[in-house]
Structure 1
Amino acid sequence: MGRWPRAARRAAVRTWATAALITIGLVACGGPDPVPVPVPPAPTPTVTPTAPACVTDAKLVPSCGVLWGAAAGAFSAVPRDRALKRWEAKTGRTATIFHTYHRGGDLFPSPAEIAMTEDPARPRVLLVNWRVADGTTWADVARGGADGRIDRWARYVRDAYGQRFFLVLNHEPEVDVDPVPGSGMTARDFAAMYRHVITRIRGDGVRHAVTVLAYMGSEKWIARSWWKDLYPGDDVVDWVGLDSYVSAEPGRYHYGGFADLLDRQPGGGGTGFYDWAVGAHPGKPIMVAEWGVYHRVGRTADKGPEFASVLPELVRRPAVKAIVYFDTKDDLFGDRDISVDSSPSSLAAFRRLAASPLFDVTLDGR
């Protein structure tokens, strides 16, 4: 092959160089000379801060958020653990608190209850109500008459169950009070019973029971002169509890939303329950240990507005750290339906409530 003339060679080299620069993007097409295009620096990655996780402490108080719980299957033949699992599937959220009931000489938690709190996929904590004075009186328990029963249970729970759990003694004591001196069932007798049991089980080595005093909180009871005498002392009460319900039927007794449930006042007026609790016992977390919305059996009413009222009230009342729904199709008196699925609209509203991230609390410190 013959050699190119010098001018042709220079032109060819220039053409090849320009084409190469264009290929790698360093010149703009059509320009007379290759002009480098500056490459912008890589952007600095931004880190979006995440909200702190809500976890429970040694007294099972959440650092943020509210514990979510339930008692399901009451007044039915369905075992409580099976009923709760069905309820969870229906409502779309695990009940972090599993509420159960025992009396007298029962040894608890039962194997089924223990299994429910050892499910790694669905972490739960027990809330156990114990009528320790079953068959006797509060005064008798306070005098040591049930110490054998108490010690036997304490040994069992100390050796068989290591997780922290909530313990209620004789919830809703107001309905059992007999104010006649010497009855053994006065409000002061209840306080003495409560103090004796908690002091004794602690002496027996039970250190993982987180104590709850669960009032009924009805207007007529708050108005009683003896009502304040039920409280046994801050040193033996970890949480102040409330059992309270509202009706979904307009015009019926206790018709209203979640605020009505929390603000029950003494008959004739006065301080409502929530304000009393935070004022008389500042720093104590409040548990709504039983709550529900009902209508009369066979008279279905939409419970959606009542369920929709819960979240705004919880935001307004930061002392409430746990709410536990009591679900039953037919209550003790046989005339109230407290189930969350008594109508499709009621269930839909309850599922929206259950889905709130406010209840995303991780059990820790157990």
Structure 2
Amino acid sequence: MADPSTSPPLTRASVAEARELIRPFVHRTPVLTSSSLSALASTPTPTQGEGKARPKLRLWFKCENLQKVGAFKARGAFHAIERLKKEPGWLAGGGAERGVVTHSSGNHAQALALAARANGIPAYIVMPTISAPPKIAATKGYGATVVFSGSTSVEREAVTAKVVEETGARLVPPYDHPDIVLGQGTLGLEFQEQVEAMMAEDVGGEKKKKKKGLDAIIAPCGGGGMLSGVALSCEGTGICVFGAEPSFQGADDAKRGYESGVRVESVSSLTVADGLRTPVGRVPWSVIYERRLVAGFYSVADADVVRAMRLAYERLKVVVEPSAAVPLAVALYDEDFRAMVEREAGEEGWDVGIVFSGGNVSLEALGKLFAAEEESK
């Protein structure tokens, strides 16, 4: 990875610069709306009961499940490689020939493998043995050498260090680096611009704005690279940014750390949201907590995550992986979030952006998750 001291400052302007750098390599993913999901979000569910919050929510969905490699991670990986290419001597001095290495449960793995292949650079990817088989197959399909490890971040990092020692490859961490954060944040800039454009209505051949744009964005949080990047993209705009996590087996480490003021450095969870099993990194934490660019965190049970996945499939006709469904689950089922919106937004309500971070889930896994959900009813 490029020396962090050479990275651009963590600002909204730097996110805009990152967007220009990766523009040739990534998709401008679509934004979808759903009147039925907005109506559901504005109505208490039977499990919430009478007397519960009735916020007025208009939901907007940023579909990074339709990004290259099926997830937002392509943005950070391509930005990291482009920044490395600017390092004096890296291309000509043999650094590129030794390749790049990372550890990832799947989406960053695929993203770095693709970015490396696009530049003719070897890639070594350390993946937990419990990674989803489609993610392992896709990573190998992009030409990367896959090395397996245990499931915890400590185990993954140990194997990664060994690969670095043996190959001389340059580490490209999945989230804990300024270049990764800035690359992921580019989705936030797109999201804001797309919603503003969609809110414009054509009246007599002239565009007339209905309102200013998004009031809030909810993004999933694992290592925090994307959440902190989105927060940077919203700095100074008045848009509130919230983190969303699963609560199963302590996977809500960012929420607990944010509320206690101390970053949680280790997580061991088998939440269904497999992409969110990692602790928040130091660089994302500096943006999320120390600069207070994230307004708060909310967490939901795994059962609610699966319910949200089903609704995304049935109402929007899109397939999202469990990690990507967590923000929608917060908007639909988290009573604390819903009460906060009702209190803060009043009768006008909020336009809330939901980041669908990825769609890498097998049909077999999807069927099992939905079958288990049906049996639990």
TM-score when scaled to structure 1?
0.30
> As a proportion of its length, which structure holds more helix?
2
Of structures 1 and 2, the larger Rg is shown by: 1
TM-score by length of 2: 0.29
